[in-house]
Structures are given as C-alpha cells and as structure tokens.
Amino acid sequence: MELDEEKFSQKNISNLIRNILTLRYDPTQKTTLPVLKPNDFISTKNYDLNFIENNLKNSIETTLESTKNLTISLSGGVDSTLVLGLIRKTLPDLKINAISIKFSDSPDETIAAKKIADFFDVEHEIIDIENYLLDLPAAISIIGMPFWDIHWYYIAKNAKNKSNFVASGDGGDELFGGYTFRYSKFLSLIRPNSSPLDKIQAYLSCHERDWVPDQEKIFNSKTNFSWKSIHSIFQPFFDNTLSPINQVFLADYNGKLPYNFSIISNKINQFFDVKPVTPILDPKLISYASHLHSDLKYNPLENIGKIPLRKLLTKYNCDSLVSKEKLGFSVNTINLWNSIGKELCHSYLDNARIVEDGWINKEWISSHITKPDLNVKYVNKFLGLLSLEIWYRLFVTKEMNSTTKLS
C-alpha cells in the first residue's frame, strides 16, 4: 500500500505508533498549551487561596461575558464541581446545563453528579452510552490521531445543541497534584540515591495500564521501538535538581494533558463549533500552580491531592459531595472487551493494514487475542491497536469512511 508521503512520512508514523501504544500520547505533536520546564516547578510562590479563587473567577468572567447560557461536563469530581460552583457564584444569572455520561457496565458517576447539579440548582442531563466504540471512526476522523478515549466526543456532540460554550475542570489533576494513586507508589519505589533512569522506570511502572510486559514484541522492526527511546522522552523531567514529587508533577503536566486531552478536546470543540471554558488552564494559574510548593498541593501522609481546590470546595460548602479519591477513567474496559471489544478487534486486526504494512507484529496479536480472561493491560493495548488500525484506514490507506459504525 502506498502512503501519502506529504502528510505521513515513515518517521512520523513510527513515532506516533511507538509513543501512543506505549504512553497513550505522542509528544512529537503540536500542543496549544505551554510546555513547562524544571525551572517552572521551583517553589517561589506564597500560598494565596484568594489569588487562586480570583484568577478562576476572572477567567470565567472574561470567557463568558457575552453569553447567556453554558454547558458543563460534570463528572462528580473535585475539578468540575469547583468550576461549576465558581461559575454559579460569578455569574448567578447564567443558565447552566450540566451533562454527565453513563457508560454501560461501568462505574456510575452520574449519581454523585446529580447531587452536585441539584446543589447548584442547574439542569442535569445524563447521556447513556451503550456502545462506547460505536462512533470511534467518526471521533478519530475529527481528532486526526488514533485515540480511543473519546468521552469528550459525546460531551461536545450533545452540548452543541444547548450552548456555544462548554466548561470543564481540565488541568486540575496535573496542576494541583490529583494523581494520588500514582504518587505514593512512585515514592515507595525510589531511594535517595536513585538515578534519573531509576526514577524514569519507577514513573513508567506507575503507568502500568499504558504498556504491557512484552511491549517490545508488539512492534515490527519498521516501527523502531526501543525502551531507550521512550526513556529519553522523560530524561529532562527526572535529570534535574527538583524534588522527586515535583519531577513527577513536571512529567505529568507534559504528558497526557497537552498531547492527549488537549488535542482531543480542541479538535472536537472546533468540529462541533463550541468554545471551551477551562479556567484552571488559565496561563496565569498554570504559572502560579507550578511554582507552589508540593506540600501545598499534595499531602503524602494522607495521600490527598488538590488541597487548594478542596479548600475552595469547603468554602462553598460542597466538599462533602465529592470523593477524596481519584476515580480515573470511568469506562470498564474489561466489560467493554467482553461485550464488543474482542469481536471488533478480531474483525479489524485479523487482517490488519498495520500488520500488512509492517508496523505491528501479527504473532503478538495472535498470541494474546484469543486468551480467556485477558488482563486489563492487554485489553487496553488491543483497544489501542483497534484505534490505530482505524486511524490507518482513514488517513493512510484512505479506504474507510468516517461514518462507519462499530457495532
């Protein structure tokens, strides 16, 4: 098969496949967010909760000064709850519609979201998604990247009928220490004399759902995979004088946020003609939060993060409505695999173009796809391969239509 050499060089495809199938993002892509460096995480800012609150309010006022209604993606977590509370307090007359997604056979966050919506007196709509992968070709055609975590597609698709503005709590985890389920593990794996490579390997082990033990066997030689090339991405984040937890904050900020979440939401927002409202990602707040001392964001003794944001929730008397634990991505991938994922992977990967063109190892697919009770790591990897195959057929071989439904 011939490639469109103008858009897809072998090097670009190799980087994309290697990075997304190992990290779930590709840092060689362009991002609209500022890239932060070690100096940005040196603690120089005094703790000032009023500054954080006022900056969030100013961002909201500036973005929404000309609108009369708004849609917000409401998960029931700290970030979206706080953004909703700030919008309600800052613009009390604004009509707000909250949207929550309920995924089939998955943890249900909509119950908590409904309580939060009622507390702030906003309309609440629950979108039931029976087959999460149904519109995957349409979403990938919009994003232009082989991502399968496409919940924002369903949010924006439904939001566009209610408002031109869609709010979210994006950035709270990366800027204020929300990934507590990884921090404690990372800190337990390193020692005072750990080398940068030791810390990189510890960091990657805390992202164990993103790769599998036989990761290198997924790829053919054409992809040019090596762990050394993956480690080199993280070298600047861990080969510096920052404290270990600030090194993690630096790596987290420069990871999925700019090169996955932001790319997905920006492309989808543009397609559905909705404008994002992301007050936590205001440039002034990004700079302020990164320079805050780590202890002001994350308490390692109690393993609680996002301390300033939680204090603002307490100020608004709604802290009891949200969990202290990070729930994570709410699609149960094992159930998704058993219901339709395995069948779809057989359909598209048994004669995969990414195998025919020499990128992916067919033996790896064959050795795992028929296993009963497949581990969640491998389920995630197969869903990644399914997305890659669809992306390849859409953009490289151009034999697939974006209107194709996966059912």
State the pTM of this model.
Answer: 0.95
pLDDT of residue 361: 98
pLDDT of residue 246: 98
pLDDT of residue 330: 76
CB 19 within 8 A of CB 27: yes
pLDDT of residue 208: 87
Is residue 193 domain-resident? Answer: no
- The phi and psi torsions of 97 (rounded to 5 degrees) equal -115, 125
Is residue 292 domain-resident? Answer: yes
Is residue 160 domain-resident? Answer: yes
Is residue 132 domain-resident? Answer: yes
Q: Based on the structure, what is the number of domains in the chain? A: 1
Is residue 313 domain-resident? Answer: yes
pLDDT of residue 324: 63
CATH number of the domain residue 103 falls in: 3.40.50.620
Per-residue pLDDT of the chain (407 residues; tens, 9 = 90+): 344 444 578 889 999 999 999 999 999 999 999 999 999 999 988 889 999 999 999 999 999 988 999 999 999 899 999 999 999 999 999 999 999 999 988 888 899 999 999 999 999 999 999 999 999 999 999 999 999 999 999 999 999 999 999 999 999 999 999 999 999 999 999 999 999 999 999 999 999 889 999 999 999 999 999 999 999 999 999 999 999 999 999 999 999 999 999 999 999 999 999 999 999 999 999 999 999 999 999 999 999 999 999 999 999 999 999 876 655 447 999 999 999 999 999 999 999 999 999 999 999 999 999 999 999 999 999 999 999 999 999 999 999 999 999 99
CB 128 within 8 A of CB 105: no
Is residue 342 domain-resident? Answer: no
Least Cα distance to 406 among 302, 301, 310, 336 occurs for 336
Task: Considering only the C-alpha atoms of the chain, give the largest distance between any 2 of them, rounded to a whole number of Å.
Answer: 60
Is residue 218 domain-resident? Answer: no
pLDDT of residue 109: 86
Whole domain around residue 97: which residue ranges? 49-176+256-321
Is residue 265 domain-resident? Answer: yes
